[in-house]
Amino acid sequence: MDMMKTLLTIIIFAMAAACSSCSKAETLDQVPDTPGETPSGKPEEPDETVSSLEYSDLLDEMTSFDSMTRYPETVYEARQESSYDRRSVDPSMPEWFANDDGWGYIRYEYPEGRVEKVIFDEQHPGVITRMWLTSFGSPETVIRFYFDGAEEPSWVMDSFNLKEFGKYADISLGDALAQPSSAWIRGSSMYLPVTFAKSCKITIEELVDPTTVSRYYHINWRRYPDDFEIPTLTPELLKANMSRIRKAERLLADPQPVTGNTVTDSATLEPGESMSVSLPDGSMSLNQLTVKASVDDFGVLASALEGVIAEGIFDGYKTVSLPLVQLAGCGRGAYYVKSWRFESDAKGTLTVRWMMPYQSEGKILLHNTSGYRISLETEAVTGTYGWDSRSMYFHAAYKKEEKYPVRLWSDYANGIEWNFATITGGRGVYVGDVYTIFNDTYEWPGEGDEKIWVDDESFPSHFGTGVEDYFSFCGYFRYHTPFSGEPRLDAANFHGYNIHYRTRNLDQIPFSAKLRFMLEMEGHAAGTADLENAVFWYGDAMTQAEGVEKYDL
């Protein structure tokens, strides 16, 4: 893969707020990871599915914490098209790890004498939920959108500036939904949902020789049943929804706190001690958890925080178990983060905004496994929650592996993959991850593609083009967006720690029984890396991730 690809930067600014509640206990009950039947029982059969969707529903969903906790009313397929190397067709062949990822496309077409590379061609109702595109090598590029079988494009933009999408409706898209600015000619990204009633085709026209320029792209979309009714995005539809678009942009850029039942507490924990944050009984949800940590010597604060393990127990099920710094998206070092789902001020205050619903009882446990005495102040805000047949529990798990091999990207015959996540045990929705690489080499270690299989797929519905592309980042400096970021980069040559996060919004991935996520371990130099990740999903109580850390606390 061309190293220049990592020059892409994506600047969106956001954070978010929600709500929760809290109290402390001196001793802890030992709770099994998968206890016996509780009042949650076996999920009821889903209600009758909906057969239509308004554009406004998607905009509202983007800033709803509640909607993600419920299995989709209409079960859609979450899919991804990308520029991955098309030689990768068979896992038993060496080409499965081939990495010429900037040359993948569907076909060439020649309308009116133009040469257009087709990069997306969907023949079902759907909505594009995320687009990530690069234009380095040559910015002389035109991208076209053809809707519902039309021979003429509805949207035509230059140089991958997806902010131009709004110009056809005489509007400007803000940085929260499309970025970067028009001055940035190397690429663009967009989270504004693009709906189509029957079909959508996207093409790229190079204004230079197309055989001389590689293009990297990701297009995430939802595929709905053929009889599903969803409107095609038009200038008129954009204008009619401007108030909701602006509201979404405001909330993502400057979210307002959510009011609720707030309880604060505090405890000073010696090494090996714990505290319990008890939540109100009833059908409720923990909507926001803030933990403020302090130690006698600020120089060891990060190390002390890394040793705080957070566990969540809801209706008797332990569904959350991982280091607090992973749950809060900042990872080792507790670096600064500002995003839609979590944030860290790099001074010891961590905020988690995943909504965690339960039917009757819930609590959060904080264990000090570090070698330091640490003081914790907690604030939780809860709210009532209407549990129904589609409701799911929040799950978070963590795994790590030391000295894992990293192959040179061109040595694909000896390619190797890491099991990033395998989730089984029931239905669920995959909603995000935090990925940490401690790199032993002095070259970029993240050339490997992500591959995600849903349920019984024979070929992954998500086949990516590299770590930097999956996390929509540049790689050369820290950055923060509502849905992805790089809070830690130890060195410009990528030696040491590299930490990335991605939380999924409309691009979440539903599964009915299983999700498997493999990540190729390829880089610009052969070597080893220490790997860590946290994965987040909503799912039935008994869903679980394989090979994750278990804590005997």
Mean pLDDT of each 10-residue bin along the chain, 553 residues long? 37 33 34 35 49 95 94 94 96 93 93 94 98 74 94 84 75 80 62 96 89 88 97 94 92 78 94 96 96 96 97 98 97 94 95 96 98 97 96 98 96 95 98 97 94 97 94 71 90 93 96 98 96 98 97 87
Q: What pLDDT is attached to residue 179?
A: 72
Buried b (16+ CB within 10 A) or exposed e, 201-210: bbbbbbeeeb
Q: Report whether 18 contacts 353 (CB < 8 A).
A: yes
CA 125/CA 113 separation, integer angstroms: 29
- In 3-state terms, what secondary structure has residue 11? coil
The CATH code for residues 74-228 is 2.60.120.1390
Q: What angle do CA 492, 494, 498 make, to 5 degrees?
A: 115
Number of neighbouring beta carbons within 10 Å of residue 34? 13
Sorted by where each begins, the domain ranges of the chain are 74-228
Phi, psi (degrees; rounded to nearest 5) at 164: -70, -10
- In 3-state terms, what secondary structure has residue 344? strand
**In sequence order, which residues have a C-beta less than 8 Å from that of residue 195 and are 6 or more positions away?**
53, 55, 58, 126, 127, 128, 230, 231, 232, 233
Q: What pLDDT is attached to residue 209?
A: 83
Nearest-CA neighbor of 219 among 110, 134, 96? 134
**In sequence order, which residues have a C-beta less than 8 Å from that of residue 37 and are 6 or more positions away?**
none
Q: 58: part of which helix (H) or strand (E)?
A: helix 55-62
Q: Tokens in use for 340?
A: 């839609």
Q: Report whether 550 contacts 321 (CB < 8 A).
A: yes
Q: What pLDDT is attached to residue 40?
A: 37
Overall pTM > 0.85: yes
Residues making up the chain, counted from first to last: 553
421 to each of 220, 394, 434, 516, how far by Cα in Å?
19, 16, 12, 6
Nearest-CA neighbor of 430 among 126, 136, 71? 71
State the residue for tokens 């939904």: 177
Q: Report whether 75 contacts 51 (CB < 8 A).
A: no
Quick check: bond before 94 cis, omega within 30? no
Amino acid in position 69:
T
**In sequence order, which residues have a C-beta less than 8 Å from that of residue 519 and are 6 or more positions away?**
417, 418, 420, 448, 449, 450, 451, 467
Q: What pLDDT is attached to residue 136?
A: 62
Q: What pLDDT is attached to residue 188?
A: 77
Q: Is 11 exposed, middle or buried (0-12, 13-18, 19+ CB in 10 A)?
A: middle
Q: What pLDDT is attached to residue 475?
A: 54
State the residue for tokens 């809070």: 487
CA 495/CA 488 separation, integer angstroms: 12
State the residue for tokens 């206890």: 35
Cite the beta strand spans of 125-230 per DSSP E: 126-134, 141-147, 155-158, 178-179, 187-190, 194-196, 200-206, 217-223
Q: Tokens in use for 438?
A: 């401690």
CA 374 to chain CA centroid, Å, is 31
Q: Tokens in use for 314?
A: 């809801």
